[in-house]
Chains A and B, each alone.
Chain A
Amino acid sequence: MTPFTTTPEESQTVEPAGTTRRDFLKNSGRLVVGFSAISAVPGVPFAEAVLNAAQGAGPYPDLDFRQLDSWIVIRQDNTATFYVGKTDLGQGTGTAFRQIMADELDMPYDRTSCVMGSTDVTVDQGGSGGSDALQTDGWPMRRVAAEARRVLLDMASQRFAVPAGDLVVSDAVISVRSDPSKRITYGDLIGGRKFNVTLTGNNPDATTGIAKLKDVQQFKIVGQSPQRYDIPAKVDGSLKWAVDVKLPGMVHARNVKPPFAGATLISIDESSVRGIPGIVKVVSKGNYVAVVCEREEHAIQAARQLKVNWQKPATAPFPSSENLHSFMRRATPTLSLPPTVVGDTAAALAGAARVVQADYDVPFQGHTSFGPAHATADPSNDQLTIYSNDMKSYGMRNGVAEFLKIPRDRVRVIWMEGPQGYGRTAADDAGFEAAFLAKEIGRPVRVQWMRNEETAWDTKGPAYTFTMRGGLDAQGNLTAFEYDARAADHHHLGYNEHDTVLISQLMGTRREPNRGGASMPNEMYAIPNRRMSAHVVSLPLVWETPLRTGNLRDPNGPQTTFASESFIDELAAAAKADPVEFRMKLLTGSTVEDSGFKRARSIAVVKAAAEKFGWDPRPSPRPRATGDIMTGRGIAYAWRSQTVVAQIAEVEVNRRTGKVWVKRFVCAHDCGLVVNPEGLRRAVEGGMLHALSRALYEEVQFDTEKVTSVDWITSPSLRHTDTPATIDVVIVNGDPNPNRPDLPHYGAGETVCKTTLAAVGNAIYDATGVRLRRVPFREARVLAALKSAGVPSGG
């Protein structure tokens, strides 16, 4: 037997550095239990607290976001734990939450800790998505922390019988200004007890007390770069991840997926796995099939060995990946969005001195998470506890409750760390499967997908086609811009609804497709005549399909920006204008400003990127080099929500092999107030290289029956050998009033994913004079494009 078991609850609480203290916040009655090896809180036995948490004595009602105690616990030793309903996918948001809350609370950063995203102990802030952690959810976090500080000041004011205004706070110690010998710590004021303070607000995002927030200038921790608290345990091997959960009596499950998309289960030959030891059960319902075994390796073997008779669908579920884009261009849209119209584009094009036209294509791209989907569910005590890396843990709790028809307060999701999220776990199939199987078997079940299953069946970023036209006048001014997009995104998933996850579809659940979406480019260009339209198209198979679409690190931005910013570059080239100057002219052509000053901030990032890069103005392409290696540079710019970025790529293209190497990236990034500059840099670097992988390698390939890109050979990824020699991230504050005391903090996880594809494509054009209008820029595609453009392959 295994000598090792862990109580996963132990790992959900992040300890303040240098203490052995752990918290359990038991929500029934909002009992605050604090203890440490040295001093347990009197009257609360250590063992009982552990037992309650381990056995998961429910029910688990939603936490009341209008109670200050739901957000902040302060202990007698003058440390605090923040409870937030967000998850950290590895971009350091947990560290940033601690920084903003510690700063508002006036408590040193290293006396704080943060618990995230477990549905029974944190308020429902929706988990993560849309890079909104700081932009949206940072505000209630700041407000509740400020409110806690205000309440503590009130308490001290009563204690010392002086007005609160005569008190000063420093590092969680309150003292009387005129008599500093009168001082008390937060811990002595409230440690181990509840605030009992009611907050207001119609929803968690709006939660507020009556305290005023600090001015930006008063922050001491925000703007510093404390190291991420989660990293040490990730490099010394001590972190307990969601994949590491082990429970008494736990069994292992593996799925058996249909070999053809849209296949129907005819029969299962259970005798085919009879010899395998420790088989617990072969489970099937509808087209969902799984095997459950005592041991993991046997579950894997059984899933491979199980003979299942499937019937192919009568019609092909999708065209092959080679024919995808022509299929999409011919298809009748299932949804057409209202076009964005400025001026009279048709007339302007008719009157243009020069019209440029181009089509662009982007294939489906997968998450291909480094670690396949996984979860463990425990059905004990007539309820479900799911241990999961689900970024939207609350969505999963709600979805599972509805899927299995059990009351919502009998389900809790304990969020733990997992591999590369970026939207994959917003449709968290494995959590639903584990929950279903645990209920079916009556024992804790751990599910993990295999590599081929994950790569073939994860949610995909939608494929796009684009048709664009632009008109230039005789002076090379852009007078008309026409954009028409089609997205294969008929049934976009992403919020863990019970009737959208794969297991539910395989079991036959059908609902109205949500009709998906299609996007327009996000830039602030002043173009006098503009028409932008976007449509959704559907592939023949809508359900149970490996080409189901979901959120992938800015679900539509990389595609739309690849098309629009490449095309802007084509127009600049046609106008024989420098690509930076061409864009600057478009940005400065208007003086209309929005509330977030995106236009002014766009100008600032384009300037900052060009300056950092050392951009010398000239039109693209450059005169072609004669050796094997042709070098070039390209720029792209975009905004997402309120964050603006400009990115420059410098590339080397090998004319003999078609190999593209990005030698240098420069990114100028304005996301408003920066909480942790070093954390931001790394998130931006990761985002750029993730998008570079999409630019150079990533493409879902399929025949008319199934996905054929299923592992790291057939579905290649960026590697160490592709890493740029230099990456410069320039943090910009382009606000017209950069020192405003209320400078907002915007999201930072995804904007740079938009610009990378176009920046690289534009740099390839600059180097070679050849325009690539389809990603990924794999060697064979680049070589073919060079050849058909007549670029000699020998230097």
Chain B
Amino acid sequence: MSNITLKVNGKAHAVDVDLSTPLLYVLRNDVGVQGPRFGCGLGQCGACTVIIKGEAVRSCTRPVSSVQGAEITTLEGLSQNGVLHPLQQAWIDEQVPQCGFCQNGQILTAKVLLDKNPNPTDAQIRQGMANTLCRCMTYYRIQAAIKRAAKVTA
């Protein structure tokens, strides 16, 4: 076990963990955020997504040693001063989730997509989201919500 510091949603957290531990478990069990969740542990589904350096990162396969010092944003950190991010608002307006378990990955992946490309085409949205799974199949509404948010942020 080693003492390291993680910066999560603007706050520093000192944790004592094995450096090879996937970031996901440290975030959930030591830092105490719950936006990222376990879906596959294999980097295949997106449930565990966080944002690091502007990229959507799958925390289930990323050793915690590799993210020391980096600013980590989770779903909890998306709103600013109590105001929801336009994507979160669009998710509510479109009433996107069914069970909602995958939506952490959907929202954060969409955030990175829009940050890089504020006006994506339908095809770019579909392609950009292709590896983020939803087993309640809310894809149709997710895509509508991304378009709705793009109008607000663009």
Q: In the complex, what residues of A have CB within 8 A of residue B126's CB?
A: 720-721, 723
- Assess the B141–A236 pair: CB atoms within 8 A: no
Within 8 A of B (CB), among A701-751: 711-713, 717-725, 727
Residue contact B131 to A719, C-beta cutoff 8 Å: yes
B92 near A420: Cβ-Cβ < 8 Å:
no
- For chain A residues 680-713, which have a beta carbon within 8 Å of chain B? 682-683, 685-686, 688-690, 692-693, 711-713
Q: A451-B39, A679-B95, A711-B40 are in contact. Are A239 and B137 (CB under 8 A)?
A: no
Q: A682-B141, A683-B98, A686-B138 are in contact. Are A370 and B34 (CB under 8 A)?
A: no
Interface of B is mostly: loop
The answer to whether B25 touches A296 (Cβ under 8 A) is: yes
> Residue B154 at the A interface, CB < 8 A?
no
- B102 contacts chain A at the CB level, 8 A cutoff: yes
Pick the contact of A370 from B33, B42, B95, B134 — CB < 8 Å? B134
A727 to B1, CA, bound (A): 52
B84 partner, pick from A236, A239, A244, beta carbons under 8 A: A236
- Measured CB to CB, the closest approach of chain B to A584, in angstroms, equals 29
Query: For the complex, what is the distance from the CA of A296 to the CA of B65, rounded to whole Å?
Result: 17
Closest to A719 in B: B130
Q: A204 an interface residue at 8 Å Cβ cutoff?
A: no
A237 touches B39 (CB 8 A): no
Chain A residues lying within 8 Å of B133, measured Cβ to Cβ, are 370, 712, 717, 719
B153 at the interface (CB under 8 A from A): no
B30 near A2 (CB under 8 angstroms)?
yes
Q: How far is the CA of A683 from the CA of B96 in the complex (A)?
A: 10
Please state if B102 and A370 are interface contacts (CB–CB under 8 Å).
yes
Q: How far is the CB of A371 from chain B (nearest CB, A)?
A: 5
Complex: how many Å from CA A725 to CA B121?
Answer: 13
* Total number of B residues with any Cβ neighbor in A under 8 Å: 63
Interface string of B37-58 (1 = CB under 8 A from A): 1111110110100000000000
Q: Do B130 and A720 touch across chains, with their CB atoms under 8 A apart?
A: yes
| Closest Cβ–Cβ distance, residue B104 to chain A (whole Å) | 7
Supply 30 A–B pairs (Cβ within 8 Å), ascending by A: A90-B98, A90-B100, A90-B136, A231-B91, A234-B103, A235-B75, A235-B91, A235-B97, A235-B103, A236-B78, A236-B88, A237-B33, A239-B100, A297-B21, A370-B133, A418-B101, A419-B39, A419-B102, A679-B95, A682-B95, A682-B98, A685-B137, A686-B136, A689-B139, A693-B137, A718-B139, A720-B125, A720-B142, A723-B139, A725-B122
Top 7 A-B pairs, shortest CB-CB distance = A4-B32, A689-B137, A90-B99, A234-B100, A237-B75, A419-B101, A90-B98
With A711-B40, A720-B130 already in contact, 18 other A-B pairs whose C-beta atoms are closer than 8 Å:
A2-B29, A4-B31, A90-B99, A91-B98, A236-B76, A236-B84, A238-B76, A246-B29, A297-B21, A370-B47, A370-B134, A370-B135, A371-B38, A417-B101, A420-B101, A685-B141, A686-B137, A722-B139
Interface residues of chain B, those whose CB is within 8 Å of chain A, are 1, 13, 17-18, 21-22, 25, 28-35, 37-42, 44-45, 47, 74-76, 78-79, 84, 88, 91-92, 95-104, 107, 122, 125-127, 129-143
